[in-house]
Amino acid sequence: MRFSSLFRRVFVPAGVLSVLLAVAACQSGSQTAGQEDDFESDIVLEPVDPDAARQRDVAKDVEALAGELQAELSQQPQTAPAPAAEIDRDVRWLVLPRPKPTVVTPAPAAGIAQAPMRLEPDVAAGETTIHPVKAEPAVLRPEMVAPSPVASDRAALLHDLRASIRDSEGDPLARGGAMALLAAIDPATPFDPAAMPELSAPQQQRLAQYQKLVQVLSQQLAREDAPLDLASIQARYDDLLGHRPIGIRTVKLVRGVSSFGVYDEFGDNRFLAGQSNSMIVYVELDDFQSQESADGRHVVKLAQEVELYTDPSGTLVWAQPREELLDESRNRRRDFFVRQLIKLPANLSVGEYLIKVRVFDVNAGTVAERSVPIVLVADQRMVREK
């Protein structure tokens, strides 16, 4: 049938079908009434309207389709509607994709870690469920503080540094040292250690010496092409450290001395008893004081004594008279050695002895001493030359 084949291709809802049937019935009645009126009246010739003719053809088709539909429905048994699985396979269903879950993270309050919630649609139940998500530890970032403006002017910056050091707490001597460094940077603003009453007089003196050393170093470094004046730096350094007492670095019994550190030493300090034994006492000194004379020369004044004691009783058996030493140099000496010839008497008996060397620093008023052991033997074969 023409209508049944159309019904299989087009799915027509039941409500729409009822409307079509009603329209077809009304159209059929109106056409029948018009025909009766035409038979009773005279025949009148009017021009043909194409749209009206087309409407009449459509009405006839609708009426025919309605009749076929009614006949087909009357022949079908009244049964329950088929389940969704038995619907004609020609019908195509539109399946929408499942929406993706939306993650909503509320903004936490400052300093409080809140658990973010995730909203997921429940397709089966048609409801929205809330699933908590494991909270991550809150990271508290330190508040960024804008740096305070710093004076670009050099003088103002140095002034602020001085004020900061002066008003700070801590060791007064350390604060004074920082002020001395600033004075070396800015010579136009000197620093007076006496302006710090919390320092003792010796501390103020040491601080003044430190300031001089820093100033000399700063001036020397400012000379790019000139070499460093080590003498002036060493002098300020010695002033800062103070006049340490003189010290004896080395004492040797030798046959001869060529220069500082170059000498011919005896083998094991064994000598033959019963005869006179001559030797040179070689001494290297540390921390000797040098004084500057009126003509710019550096003067070192020393005195030395040599004594012989028995070992281990410590009895004095011989002594060399004290000898004075005066040394002048245009440059300040860094190394100093003393050589003195002594002659031990022949009346010394066999045994062990100590030669004690004592050196005096006349300029500083200090003294140092050291001892060298020797042995007097009766047999020449016991003496080792080298």
| 130 residue type, one letter | I
Query: Could you tell me where the beta strands, DSSP code E, fall in the chain?
Result: 102-104, 117-122, 127-132, 247-259, 262-265, 270-272, 277-286, 291-292, 298-310, 316-329, 336-344, 351-361, 366-377
Q: Closest Cα to residue 253, out of 267, 233, 236?
A: 267
Q: In this model, does residue 192 exceed pLDDT 60? A: yes
The hierarchical CATH code for the domain 247-382 is 2.60.40.3880
Q: Which two tokens stand for residue 126?
A: 């048609």
pLDDT of residue 6: 44
Is the pTM higher than 0.75? The answer reads no
Cα separation of 336 and 301, whole Å? 12
> What pLDDT is recorded for position 117?
46
Domain boundaries, the chain: 2-76, 155-241, 247-382
> Looking at per-residue confidence, does 36 or 144 come out higher?
144
Instruction: Give the pLDDT mean for 247-251.
Output: 95
Say which residue, 114 or 373, is predicted with more confidence. Answer: 373
Q: What is the pLDDT of residue 110?
A: 45
Tell me the mean pLDDT in the region 249-266. 93
- β-pairing, 262-265 vs 117-122, is unpaired
How far are the Cα atoms of 171, 252, 305 from residue 288, in angstroms, in the given order? Answer: 33, 19, 16
CA distance 208 to 179: 11
The most confident of 70-74, 118-122, 205-209, 274-278, by mean pLDDT? 274-278
State the average pLDDT over residues 292-299.
90
The better pLDDT of the pair 23, 185 is held by 185
pLDDT at 377 over 80: yes
- On the question of pLDDT at 251 being above 70, the answer is yes
User: How far is it, in rounded angstroms, from Cα 210 to Cα 237?
Assistant: 8
